[in-house]
Amino acid sequence: MPDLPTEHLFTPEGWAKLAAVDSVDAAVARWRMSGLPNLHSHAFQRAMAGLAERQSHPEDSFWTWRELMYRFAGRVTPDTQYAIARQLYAEMLESGFTTVCEFHYLHHQPDGRPYDDPAAMSKALIAAARDTGIRLTLLPVLYMTGGFDGRPLSERQRRFGHTLDGFLALLQSLRALEHDTLKVGVALHSLRAVPEAAMHELLAAIAGTPMPVHIHIAEQIGEVQDCQALRGARPVEWLLANAPVDAHWTLVHATHLETAEVQGIAASGATVAICPTTEANLGDGLFPLRDFLAAGGHWGIGSDSHVSVSPVEELRWLEYGQRLVTRRRNIAVSADQPSTGELLYTQALAGGLRACGQPAAAQDWIVLDPGAPALAGATPADLLDRFVFGGNRGLVHEVHVAGQTVVAQARHRDHDDIARRYGEAMKDLLAD
């Protein structure tokens, strides 16, 4: 009688062998590990992926892309928000993300007036997460000004904006909805969008109530220059000197850093959310990963604008960007961990769990495809390297979140209905 296959479980201590499991093919091993958290998402932007790849200006940049994003955002309703997010969250689950931090700033009607229910857009995201089965850390965004100089929000930004009192009321209403797979935190859109006084008032209002705090920061050179000109310091430098940044904080992008800022983030205990595919798509720049690893910094990954929805691609391009700059190989390693794939996965998992504020997410599992050619003959020593660098065929076979099977045979349980609803929403969004 042939031996039954071994099930391997990845733990913080490495791979552990579980009892043999029944299988049609007794020669095939099973590989089970935690799903990764996605630390930065703007769900509605999934619907515009691929629609901003025609040159609109001789010097196309993040800032010209942003104009298209504003126009697109102006057409999204609670119903289309739900359909887009449901499609996106199903794609995340199928790729191996099991938790998402939703950095949500699309609050009001296009003219800036609140919906009859001021939380309508937030509740569309909550419903999409509930119906797909992904864990959600919802981060309503405080967005008050159009620049460091305090200029008012533009017409297209009005649906993002809140007074501080209005924002705190929204936050209170959303926190009342929390449950086992829904955590509510808070986000500051950026230093340019939140005046210093308002930042301090918000942080004072939530003091003593531990919750995730996320902020876009130092994504673009123009932002760094404006902050230096008007606040006398670089964005990360200023934030570390003027806010109680600690392990509850996540700095999104933090692309343009000097050595003291790298050291300062690491010393604060904050997590950096790195979004390699979006940062590449928008021409942002490269995060100084090697220096941050050497400083002992915490980090995770996000898919941000969702030009790609794949933890593997985010991890792979995080490493590849460093290789292109240094013209060396295997950058994300350490003296104790020579495996690039294993270090990327383990650190993205650990940093991600810190940033999403959902410890139970560590109990959500993915199972890799036991018949995938990319895993033929895999061993514990090379499995995670194969997972990250072994090609573009999806390797996630099953996904289990909070005791529920949400993906089987590599397909979300509601795949067809979700795709149909998404197609209908796209017709509405793109109609003349």
Mean pLDDT for 312-336 is 95
Q: Residue 342 above 90 pLDDT? A: yes
Q: What pLDDT sits at residue 24?
A: 43
Residue 64: pLDDT band by 50, 70, 90 thresholds? confident
Q: Residue 4 above 50 pLDDT? A: no
Q: What pLDDT sits at residue 11?
A: 78
Exposed / middle / buried, residue 70 (Cβ in 10 Å: 0-12, 13-18, 19+): middle
The Cα 362–Cα 346 span in angstroms is 12
Q: What pLDDT sits at residue 303?
A: 98
CA angle 195, 38, 55 (to 5 degrees): 70
Residue 227 near residue 234 (C-beta atoms within 8 A): yes
Q: 35-364: which CATH topology?
A: TIM Barrel (3.20.20)
Q: Residue 104 above 50 pLDDT? A: yes
Q: Residue 415 above 70 pLDDT? A: yes
Mean pLDDT for 321-337 is 94
Mean pLDDT for 39-63 is 85
332 vs 5 pLDDT, higher one: 332
265 vs 283 pLDDT, higher one: 265
Helix (H/G/I), strand (E/B), else coil: 103 = strand
The Cα 327–Cα 317 span in angstroms is 14
pLDDT tens for each residue of 124-149: 999 999 999 999 999 999 999 999 99
Mean pLDDT for 246-263 is 98
The Cα 332–Cα 39 span in angstroms is 19
pLDDT tens for each residue of 365-409: 999 998 999 999 999 999 999 999 998 999 999 999 999 999 999
pTM of the model as a whole: 0.95
Q: Residue 49 above 60 pLDDT? A: yes
Q: What percent of the chain has pLDDT over 90?
A: 83
**Residue 214, beta-bridge partner list:** 187, 250
Q: Residue 245 above 80 pLDDT? A: yes
Domain residue ranges of the chain, discontinuous segments joined by +: 35-364
Residue 3: pLDDT band by 50, 70, 90 thresholds? very low
Instruction: Give the contacts of 155 (CB within 8 A, at least 6 positions apart).
Output: none
Q: What pLDDT sits at residue 5?
A: 59
pLDDT tens for each residue of 13-42: 788 887 655 444 445 678 999 999 999 999
Residue 113: pLDDT band by 50, 70, 90 thresholds? very high
Q: What pLDDT sits at residue 27?
A: 53
Task: State the DSSP code for 47.
Answer: G
CB burial of 213-244 (b: ≥16 within 10 Å; e: otherwise) equals bbbbbbbbeebbebbeeebebbbbbbbbeebe
Q: What pLDDT sits at residue 2?
A: 39
Residue 189: pLDDT band by 50, 70, 90 thresholds? very high
Nearest to 31 by CA among 404, 350, 430, 372: 372
Q: Residue 6 above 80 pLDDT? A: no
Q: What percent of the chain has pLDDT over 70?
A: 97
Query: Which of 51-65, 106-120, 227-241, 363-377 is predicted with the least confidence, judged by mean pLDDT?
Result: 51-65
387 vs 10 pLDDT, higher one: 387
The runs of H, that is alpha helices, within 269-339 are 276-281, 289-294, 311-326
304 is catalytic: yes
Nearest to 36 by CA among 350, 309, 394: 350
Residue 372 token pair? 């995938």
The mean pLDDT of the chain is 93
- Of the residues 284, 304, 364, 385, only one is catalytic, namely 304
CA angle 187, 94, 68 (to 5 degrees): 50
Q: What pLDDT sits at residue 235?
A: 98
Q: Residue 202 above 60 pLDDT? A: yes
- Of the residues 162, 253, 298, 400, only one is catalytic, namely 253
Q: What pLDDT sits at residue 54?
A: 80
Task: State the DSSP code for 136.
Answer: E
